[in-house]
Every structure is written in structure tokens, then in C-alpha cells.
Structure 1
Amino acid sequence: MLLRGRARRSRETTAGTGTGDDPLNAADPLDAAQERRVRAVLALGGVPQADLPDGVQQVRLRLLERAASGREAPRDVSAWAAVVASNLAMDWHRAKRRQERLGERLAALRQPAAHPSGEDSSVLSVAVAQGLDELPDAQRQVVVLRFYADLPVRSIAEQLGVPEGTVKSRLHTAVRALRARLHEDEVV
């Protein structure tokens, strides 16, 4: 409801001014708290700090596209935005893996060069961040949404379109794997 209202108000206010094509006149679909949550989900999903503004803009764009298409607004925009951010983080990881594989192939063809780490590890301890990176996408997604975006299991299940039991199972398996990883690395 809120989403349609904002989009409608935006069209009404820009229709009379002749600036309907100016995206700067559109109302921001994310409030400050939602934007912080989106940034946190992206960062915890492994997206580098330099790419966070682009990720937030992608979430805004998808929300505006949803409004423009006439689809009903999500019941909980904040939860929906967190899930979209989590999906974007998974997309980023997939692209990163593809680039790494390509990089490995190219490295075999030329002299190896030193690559400085561009990832900011200040959000989580290195061990937990590495553990999250090693989890399968579906498990990492529910861990980030549950423990870092602080979404309830029911909301995660609704947003992902899976049963609550599936979310609980993924959480259990992921936490067990992270715990084993931390014990293996003697972090805990």
C-alpha cells in the first residue's frame, strides 16, 4: 500500500511540473533505517564496502520497478528489501567466483601478480566471514537474514517462498557448519 501511495504521489507531483522524467523527483522508497539494514545485509553477505552504494541503489530500483509495474507492495517493505539485498549478495558471490575461475585461467598464461585484498573484514571476525563464505548460498542467505537482518523465521519463509521448516533446517545446518569451522580453526 505504502509503495503504491508513494509512487502515485510522485507521479501526481511531477505530472503538473513537466518533470515526470526526472528520477530525482521520485520519493525515496527506503527510509534511513531500511537503508542501514540493506547495507548491513549486503556487507554481511560479503559485498565489499566500495560496492555497497550500488547495492542499495539496486534495491531501490527493484522497489521502484515493482511499483511502476503495478504489482502490490510487499507487506513488509523492510523485510522484502533485506531479502533483495541478500539475493544481490549471492549474485555478487557468483560473479566473484566466475571472475576468480577466469583469473586462475589467465594467471596460468601470464606471470602471477600480487592482488591486494579489497574486502573489508571489520564487519565480522575473519573466521566467521570465511565460514559464511564457505556456506552454500541458501544457508548463507538464511543466516544473514535471521541473525544479521534480524528477521523472524516466518518472515524469511514468506519472502523466500519456502516452508518455515525449510528455513529452520537451513539455519540448523548452517549454524552447525559454522560452529564446526570455528572449532576447527580454534577460534572458540
Structure 2
Amino acid sequence: MTLRRAPRRRAGAPAVLATLIATVLLSGCVTQPVLPYQASVANQMKLGSLPRAARFQVTTAGSDPSDVQTTVRSMRISAPGDGSWTSYLGQALRTELATSGNYDANAAARIEATLSEVRIADGQAQVTGHFVIRQGQSVRYDKVLRADAHWDSAFLGAIAASNGLNQSTAIFQALLRKLFDDPDFAAAST
């Protein structure tokens, strides 16, 4: 006589979906920090075209903009560490430059970065920064740059929030790509 096991009951897609929605609704507003900044391949390729001797130190100026908006559905997105988006921008710059070999804490050239806008919402993000490159007392570069991103917004709040969290790093990569792609930045690096 062969013994047969009773079939396992699997939760159907509607049950899993209902559980996910209930969890999000019951949890209320949560705060999730962005993952630590990762260097982007596109930025590294652009920095690779700088002269080998180009080295920068990085400083950030000021505090976060007063009207930072970083809420996607019921999730508030925060900067990692001390929660400062200005610090996050400074760390992003250091990460990109260190990865490409263009960072030196004692370099004569200094990139000063200031944030004037941070908006991350459902399906869109905007970040604006002011970048100044100084060589001693001389200003070699001074521009305000803005990056915008748009993506499909999911119907489910948990998926939309996850997409917003992922785009939070990508929008800072895009802002730095604008800096590194600028021919005036390359000219200030020589």
C-alpha cells in the first residue's frame, strides 16, 4: 500500500496581496533611510576621461533646504547616517571621486556642494545642487545643476514606495552625471 501525502495548501495570489496591503495600511507612515551611495558606471566612465593628475577635495556648504519633500505613499525616505541630504551629496561626490582615483582630502582644488532642492515623490524626483570648484582663492567653476526623474508609479503602495526608495539614489547619481558631463567641469579639472 502506497501512502499519499495530503496536498499542501498554497496561499493564492489574492491572499498574498491582501496580506501585503493590510501590512502597509496598518503600519502607518514609516521612515526608511536610503541605501549608502554607490558609484555609477556612467559617472566612472566620464571621470575616467579627466587628466590623471586631476584631484579634488570635497566640502558641503549649508544645511538641507527648508522644504525637503521625500514621501512616497505612506513611506518617508530619509538620508542615511545623520539624516542630512547635504551630507549624502558630499558622500556621493567623495564616493564617485575616490572610486575613479580623483579624490584627495589634501588636494589644492576643492569642490563645494550645496543642495537647494530635494523632492522625491510618487513617480518623480528632482534634486538641485550648486557646485563651485575653487583652486586656492580662484573660482574655476560655478553652476547650479538640476536632475529630474520620472518613473511609472505602481498601484500598490508597497511597490510604489520601493520604487521611490530605489530612485532616491539614482537621482543623486543623475545630478552628479550632469556635473561630470559638463564641459566646463572638465575644463576646471585641468
The TM-score, its normalising length taken from structure 1, stands at: 0.25
The structure richer in strand per residue is 2
Structure of greater Rg: 2
Which has more helix, going by share of residues? 1
TM-score of the two chains, using structure 2 as the length reference: 0.25
